[in-house]
Structure 1
C-alpha cells in the first residue's frame, strides 16, 4: 500500500515583521480529514497494519480528539475497520450531538465508551488484554497517535526546500511531531516547541521516542 501526500510552504505577509521571512508549512492542506501531523503519524502505521494483515485499527481519545477523526477517516479511505475507545461513558447516548463522534460514526467507527477512571489505565496490560479479547486481532494506535512509526512519518515534514530556515516552530502535544522534526532538521536549524498543555513532562517523553 502506497500513501503519498504533499504539503506546500506559504509566505506570511505581515507589516509588523521586519527583516524576517516567516513561512507556514500548509500541512493542513494534505487531506480534507487526514491532515497535518495526523496524516504523518498515521502513514507508516497504516502501511505496517496492511502489510501485517490487520483489518482493524483501535485507538483512544476524547470527545473532541482530532486523532479520532483522522483515524476514522483513514480507516474508511484505506479499508480498515476502526474502533475508538472514548473517554467519558456519559457520551454514549450523545454521539449525534458531538461533531467529532458524529463524523467518526459516519466513517464507520465503532465506539467503546469508558469512564474517566477506567480511561486512565488504558495502557495497562490488563486493559489491553481485555481489548484483544473483545475485538480480536486489532492494530492498536496510542492516544494522539505517537509511536516510533509516527515519528518516522513526522520526519518527512521537512524537505530539502526547508533547509534555508534557521528556526522551525511547532505546537507540541504528545511529542511525536517535534521528535520527527528534531531527527530530520539540518545541523544549523533550531527546533522550537510550544506545548499545547502544561509541558514539564515533554522533554523526557520526546527523548524516549
Structure 2
C-alpha cells in the first residue's frame, strides 16, 4: 500500500487530490497538510511513502523547503504539484531533492502514475523538463564521470534505491552514496534526480 500525504494551502485542491487518489487500489491518503511546517511534522510522524506537495504554500516554507527538509535516506519521496511552469522553480525543486515536478492541469491518471512511480523510487521528470533542468545547470563547469559513477546513475535511472544498487553491484550502501556524491560534485548538481537528468542530457546513460 502506497501511503500519501497531500500538502496544499487550498482546501478544494486537497479535496480533489484526495478524491483522485483514494479511489485507487494500492494507494491510501494518510493525511493532509495546509502548510510546509505541518507537512514536515506529519511526514515524520506518519512516515508516508510519498508527499504530494504544492510549490507555493502560505506559511513562508514552500514545496522546495519541504523537499529539502525531507531528503534523508528514510524520508518519503516528495513530488511537487503546481501551476508554475518556470525553469528556475523546476531546478530548485530537483536540487532540493524532489523526485518530480507535475503541473496541476495533468490528467488524474498521470498524477496517479507519478505517485506510484515516486513510491517505487523513480524520478518523475518529463524529457522536456529534464532538458530544461540541464540547460539551466549547464553554465556550471563539469568533470568527467568515472565508469562506476555512470553505472550507478544508470541504475538510479532504472528506479533502483541506493540499497538495491548496492546489492546489484556487490558493494556497500555507503559506497553507492559516495559514488553519487562524486557524480553530483562533477555535474554541479546536488540530488540523485538532478544528477540523473544531467547525465541523461549529456548522453552519458
TM-score bucket of the superposed structures, by smaller chain: under 0.3
Higher relative contact order (CA 8 A, sep 6+): 1
Relative to its length, the structure with more strand (as a share) is 1
TM-score, length basis structure 1: 0.24
Taking structure 2 as the reference length, the TM-score comes to 0.25
Q: Greater helix percent: which structure?
A: 2
